[in-house]
Structure 1
Amino acid sequence: MFVFFALHARSALATGKSKFLGNIIPYSVPSNWDQYWNQATAENGCKWGSVENGRGIYNWGQCDVTANHCKAAGIPFKYHNFVWGSQEPGYVQNLSQPDQKIAIENYIKAAAAHYGYIEFIDVVNEPLHAVSSVAEALGGAGSTGWDWVVTSFRLVRESFPSSKLLINDYGIINDGGAITKYIKIIDILKNENLIDGIGIQCHYFNVNDFPADWMKYNLDTLAATGLPIYPSELDINAGSEENQSIIYQRVFPVLWEHYAVKGITLWGYITGSTWASNTGIVEVDRHERQAMTWLKSYLRSH
């Protein structure tokens, strides 16, 4: 079985490149997944609200689908995520703040006990847009303005000392004001050696209409922190195959060719199975849309 996956991993689009090109794995691994991608993130399976079905009751089944596939294929696994206000167990909102902190600590420790080493971890997801319901329990704004984020990273660093710890948010690549706020958090984390990379979600609503030169400028601004950048959740939609491909041709090279970008993760690829309509680049019948045809050609020479 390991040989089977290893052979498929060697056929991925970014095999042999200096950076990875990954994608999500939903409830199961699509049969053609390995021919395209060489890094994986669980779509929903590792989020706190998915894992902890009741207090202290952890169900790793869906998260395991991605983690086990990565292990068998010999490709990086990214855990997404530990702290995010949009998907948390319902019970935590009814706990006292001390118990809320214990709950998130126990969840992180349980993940460490279950998985051991993980290559990449989105520690806090969308701190600028979806503040966790346990933020006050983790220190709230505190003296730094972002103590709850700092505490989250401390807890994860303690349990995963060798993993690359990332922050992740949307609306960064296309918004200079958001970048300023983001870098403030990043610098605070850097001062304690708590962060190893910058995640920037690149959904269609951030990149479809954004000029390539401005995108490059914003990447340069983030890169000035000295940290590697990991564009995540990349998806592009359009009214036609041709227009979708045109947007890919404008957006993807700026990300891929930037010196600070060390890997890109798309957010789905099969039409009808992505979270946002018209973002697929391969049809259910395996027909490759123009965007995928272009992407394959581009990566052969870059």
Structure 2
Amino acid sequence: MFVLLIFNAFSALATGKSKFLGNIVGSSVPSSWDTYWNQVTAENGCKWESVEGTRGSYNWAQCDVAADHAKSAGIPFKYHTFVWGSQEPSWLGNLGSADKKTAVENLIRAAASHYSPDYIDVVNEALHAPSNARDGLGGSGSTGWDWIVTAFTLARSAFPSSKLLINEYGIINDASEIKQYLQIVDALKAKNLIDGIGIQTHQFNVNDLSAATITSNLNTLAASGLPIYSSELDINGNSEANQAAIYQRVFPAIWEHSGVKGITLWGWITGQTWKDGTGIADASGNPRQALTWLKTYMASQ
């Protein structure tokens, strides 16, 4: 077992780097996973709908797959996510405000009794898919984002050693949304509740971005003083070569920015990714051009 752990810890592409390069884990861990990645996020297994489909009955099996692998490999685990308007249990919408707050409190306490994550996406997609529990968490309130502040307050109490993150899409490519996003960040910073900024970097946000725009927008986020985490990177193209070319434009602009402390891909094996065409390995796990380039690039850093 000791030899296996050493192999896992020293075989990933970002081993020895100043930041991690991670990926998701679903219902099982692909055999080649440790060859490439050194940070774990559960794809769906830790989302509220998966964990508590029936109120008061918790199922950690899918979340455990990711958490257990992170522990065995000795790499960071991120819990994704507590408060999000998508993939919430259907019963949540039928509750009154007080019961909604209790439900969020119970979820966070239950997770804290089971996990000690390195990172937590406390609130996901607050701008685009705000939680159905938000009226129970204080609604807009005096800050405009009291429901988010409450969620982070609950998470900080339950997970004092975890780094608490917010996560959102449509940020890396939209300067106006960055301003709104930073309003939330500032409200959390004022109460010392946030440790990092998550930006989803899906193909629909990054495929057409220039490296200069990426750098400019990351500069604005970094001015907050908080580390940035590219949380859900995936890229496709109209051909394998085109996908590789986009990777060569987008990935270095993110990876080399001093404010970015980690990148997590949202899958990499063709047929097992959320968006069609975003695999950088074929269905058998053999590298496509983008992954071949990525291996060379990471080795050069």
Q: Could you tell me the TM-score, scaled by structure 2's length?
A: 0.99
**Offset at 1:2?**
5.1
**Offset at 1:53?**
2.2
CA distance in structure 1 between the aligned counterparts of 2:106 and 2:45, rounded to whole angstroms: 18
SS at match of 2:241: helix
Structure 2 unpaired stretches of 5+: none
CA distance in structure 2 between the aligned counterparts of 1:285 and 1:110, rounded to whole angstroms: 38
C-alpha contact (below 8 Å) 1:9/1:35 kept by paired residues: no
CA distance in structure 2 between the aligned counterparts of 1:273 and 1:23, rounded to whole angstroms: 12
1:1-302, aligned counterparts within 5 Å?
1=1, 3-115=3-115, 117-302=116-301
CA RMSD, 1 decimal: 0.8
Identity between Structure 1 and Structure 2 (%): 66
C-alpha contact (below 8 Å) 1:241/1:289 kept by paired residues: yes
Q: Which amino acid aligns with 1:85?
A: G
Q: Which amino acid aligns with 1:44?
A: N
**Offset at 1:5?**
3.8
CA distance in structure 2 between the aligned counterparts of 1:126 and 1:3, rounded to whole angstroms: 40
Structure 1 unpaired stretches of 5+: none
C-alpha contact (below 8 Å) 2:40/2:70 kept by paired residues: yes
Residues 170-209 of structure 1: per-residue CA shift (max 9 Å, x gap): 0000000100000000011000000000000000000000
Q: Could you tell me the TM-score, scaled by structure 1's length?
A: 0.98
Residues 48-105 of structure 1: per-residue CA shift (max 9 Å, x gap): 0100021110000000000000001000000000000011111111111111110110
C-alpha contact (below 8 Å) 2:53/2:90 kept by paired residues: no
SS at match of 1:144: coil
SS at match of 1:57: coil
Q: Which amino acid aligns with 1:110?
A: A
CA distance in structure 1 between the aligned counterparts of 2:96 and 2:167, rounded to whole angstroms: 27
Residues 141-172 of structure 1: per-residue CA shift (max 9 Å, x gap): 11111000000000000000111000000000
C-alpha contact (below 8 Å) 2:14/2:38 kept by paired residues: yes
SS at match of 1:233: strand
C-alpha contact (below 8 Å) 1:235/1:267 kept by paired residues: yes
C-alpha contact (below 8 Å) 1:6/1:72 kept by paired residues: no
**Offset at 1:8?**
2.2
C-alpha contact (below 8 Å) 1:164/1:196 kept by paired residues: yes
Q: Which amino acid aligns with 2:299?
A: R
